[in-house]
Amino acid sequence: MTLHSAPQRTHLHSVRKGSGAPLVLIHGIGHHWRAWEPVIDLLAEHHDVIAIDLPGFGRSPAPAENRGMPSAVEALAAYFAENGLDRPHVAGNSLGGAIALELAAAGHARSATALSPAGFCTPAQVRRALSILRGHRVGAFTPTPLLKVFYRTGFGKAFSFGWLVRDPGVLTAERALADTLALRGGKGFGAVARHGRNYAFTVRPEVPVTIAWGSRDRIFLPVQAGVARDRLPDARHVTLDGCGHVPMSDDPALVAGVILRTTQR
């Protein structure tokens, strides 16, 4: 897979592949653009695919001020304008799913696909999810040489990624380490987590929207899909059978198909 990497004036790192209508991919808290690696080739057959690192994650520096969701939406809208992306399609996972929905509601996107998006939790469910993710981040500070050995074992990958994907065995040791180092280095984690405690998605985009939820999501439990269905009755709602919270690794073909059906509406 050949990808072109470039710094941006808004200081968002991205990789890009394919041709066609632009499609921007947005990862979740503590992750990086490689969350989308399993589906990029499939999507690039139909779209100019741009996978970004959110501010404060991956290779994108943290913003001087982080006001939560408004800051994320403003950063993405500026990135779109600076790169000639006129209302691109957007797809996001977890935090990225909520950002995709907010971009669509603000008129910055022509369609949105949200995979297990944030914003549909009760306060108790938010606390539970953030507690799990903070625990993962503490583990990410294990010395790198130990992590390299740990991720050569099935137990190591299952221990660290079993909350996120159905079958951690699909992750290579290199990918598991890269994701862990991205979580360790995510300087935006604390601010995003603080603002996320009180975040709820409450508006209705006027563009095609798909909400897709993994049936085996252990971070944002599938019951939250019902809340999303009630709040967004005009959206297309899909269950990703057998998938966990980060479904791109669990079933790339299924996830790519869901996104493409949205962009083609």
* pLDDT score of 265: 84
* pLDDT score of 8: 43
Instruction: List Cβ neighbours of 79 (8 Å cut-off, separation of 6 or more).
Output: 8, 10, 12, 52, 85
The total number of residues shown for the chain amounts to 265
Q: What is the pTM of this model?
A: 0.94
Q: What is the rounded CA–CA span in Å between residue 32 and residue 206? A: 28
* pLDDT score of 3: 55
| Sites in the chain below the pLDDT cut of 70 | 1-10
H-only helix segments in 69-172: 69-82, 95-105, 123-139, 144-150, 154-161
Token digits of residue 72 = 């994320």
* pLDDT score of 58: 96
* pLDDT score of 239: 98
Domains recognised in the chain with CATH numbers: 4-125+188-263 (3.40.50.1820)
Chain-centroid distance, C-alpha 211: 13
Sign of CA dihedral 204, 205, 206, 208: negative
Q: What is the rounded CA–CA span in Å between residue 94 and residue 84? A: 26
Residue holding tokens 């996978």? 51
pLDDT digits (tens, 9 = 90+) for 130-162: 999 999 999 999 999 999 999 999 999 999 999
**Phi and psi (nearest 5°) for 62?**
-70, 145
DSSP code for 88: -
